[in-house]
Amino acid sequence: MKYVIMSGRYETGTEEQKMMYTMLFGQERIQYFFDLYFHWYNLVHEMGHCIVEKQNAVMSKVAEEMYVNALAVSYYRYMGEDEKLAELKGRLETILSQVPSPVPEGETFLGFYEKIWNTEQINDVMIYGYFQLNSVLEILNKEDLELKTVLKTIGINMHDLETKEKCDAEIKSENAVLFLNHARENLLKMGVDVPEIRLELQDNPMVQCARLDISYKKLEEKDLPVYIDMRMKQLREEGAHEESDIVPALLDYYHRHMADGTFVAWLALEGDEVIGTSGMSFVERPPHFRCPNGKLGLLSSMFTSPYYRRQGIARELLHRVVEEAREYGCSMVQITASDMGVKLYTAYGFEHNGNFMQYNLL
């Protein structure tokens, strides 16, 4: 298995995105502390997720976050990076002394986050950010944490390094790949079965995650059952009322229009699992000034499984079907956007059309 760590850069973010991180990290030396956290410390944190999955270790998502923080802190302590860890700890203590806790009175920190982890609430930047920063600080406060013990928890027997060499590159995004590769090589020497991992720097600083490399493929007939299943999940999430069984009708539609070339779709996959979809239907209408050839693309089935959102997958799926419409000769692409999708389409370049109305014949 091959993994990718996607890490956004502060310096390329929008003003709104930068403001969110300023609220988390504070204004003083924001660029440095952003890079210290995400392009030094967090690289081993994210690598930890890859190791946990490779080991088939079973734990809740919250427990896994705590574990990979323990792995990152104990690794850097083992490598003698106490100065950087102390610097990170000092900044986290300052931040958390000024940020109100989102945990309701009477609930525990871990209990609260276990409860909300698979809900929309965890997508709130301040709520998720508080979890990450507070969990890192909790681990940093455990002075007796040892790397050998942490690795043993998931069944890894660690070998001590003969020599410990730090990566003394400057803390900045351009050097993140050096820190990542250095840590991976050290862990391999310790006997840790670290999978192959590449780093992908992103412009969006909100993107910070590790996952299997996502692949993309065009929809084929054999993929229709899972594609329809994803379509149904999308409709339910959007609040549609299931008044009838539309699966046979969907299957018939896709069969006919894939056959005559008036429907195309793309899938995003993590390994063999479909985790995102997009679709485009091609129709012809009487030409008008904004669509002089009358060829129109109707975007549909834009859906990404919740765990994989905000990682650039939806944008890639969107781009692929928009290019299909361009190749077909469409003058325009339209969609009735959900509230969740408006930001994506606006950022891509879609414009609002306030004249869209519909008349129900059934």
Q: pLDDT digit string (tens) for 258-300? A: 999 999 999 999 888 999 999 999 999 888 887 888 898 999 9
Question: Which sign, positive or negative, has the C-alpha torsion 54, 55, 58, 62?
Answer: negative
Alpha-carbon distance 209 to 65, whole Å? 12
Residue 359: pLDDT over 50: no
Question: Cβ atoms within 10 A of the Cβ of 81, count?
Answer: 19
Q: Which of 53, 84, 319 is nearest to 209 (CA)?
A: 53
Residue 49: pLDDT over 60: yes
What is the identity of the amino acid at 252? D
Question: Coil, helix or strand for 270?
Answer: strand
User: Looking at per-residue confidence, does 85 or 352 come out higher?
Assistant: 85
Residue 360: pLDDT over 80: no
What Cα–Cα distance (Å) separates residue 293 from each residue in 161, 263, 320, 332?
68, 18, 22, 10
Residue 60: pLDDT over 90: yes
Residue 357: pLDDT over 60: no
Alpha-carbon distance 157 to 19, whole Å? 43
User: CB burial class (10 A; 0-12, 13-18, 19+) of residue 90?
Assistant: exposed
In which order are the strands placed within the sheet that holds 263-270? 214-218, 263-270, 273-284, 295-304, 332-334
Q: Are the beta carbons of 214 and 268 closer than 8 angstroms?
A: yes
What does the pLDDT average to over 145-151?
97
> Which residue matches tokens 């003003």?
15
Model confidence at 361, pLDDT cuts 50, 70, 90, reads very low
Q: Which of 281, 273, 267 is nearest to 227 (CA)?
A: 267
Model confidence at 362, pLDDT cuts 50, 70, 90, reads very low
- pTM of whole model > 0.95? no
Residue 139: pLDDT over 70: yes
What does the pLDDT average to over 179-203?
96
Q: Report CA 58 to chain centroid distance, whole Å.
A: 21
Using DSSP bridges, classify how beta strands 332-334 and 295-304 pair: parallel, antiparallel or unpaired: parallel
What Cα–Cα distance (Å) separates residue 257 from each residue in 55, 234, 250, 268, 323?
44, 21, 11, 21, 18
* pLDDT at residue number 336: 76
User: Looking at per-residue confidence, does 357 or 262 come out higher?
Assistant: 262
Going from the N-terminus, what domains does the chain have, and what CATH number goes with each?
A: 2-212 (no CATH), 216-348 (3.40.630.30)
Strands, E, within 224-337: which ranges? Answer: 263-270, 273-284, 295-304, 332-334
* pLDDT at residue number 59: 95
Q: Which of 214, 321, 305, 222 is nearest to 265 (CA)?
A: 321
User: Half-sphere exposure of 37 toward its Cβ, with a 13 Å CA cutoff?
Assistant: 24
User: CB burial class (10 A; 0-12, 13-18, 19+) of residue 336?
Assistant: exposed
Model confidence at 349, pLDDT cuts 50, 70, 90, reads confident
What is the identity of the amino acid at 309? R
Q: Compute φ and ψ for 304, nearest 5 degrees.
A: -125, 135
Model confidence at 345, pLDDT cuts 50, 70, 90, reads confident
* pLDDT at residue number 94: 92
Mean pLDDT of all residues in the chain? 91
What Cα–Cα distance (Å) separates residue 149 from each residue in 75, 86, 271, 336?
11, 21, 31, 53
User: Looking at per-residue confidence, does 254 or 306 come out higher?
Assistant: 254
Alpha-carbon distance 198 to 177, whole Å? 8
What Cα–Cα distance (Å) separates residue 189 from each residue in 3, 176, 183, 193, 306?
19, 20, 10, 9, 36
Using DSSP bridges, classify how beta strands 2-8 and 208-212 pair: parallel, antiparallel or unpaired: antiparallel
Model confidence at 221, pLDDT cuts 50, 70, 90, reads very high
Tokens of 158: 């660690």
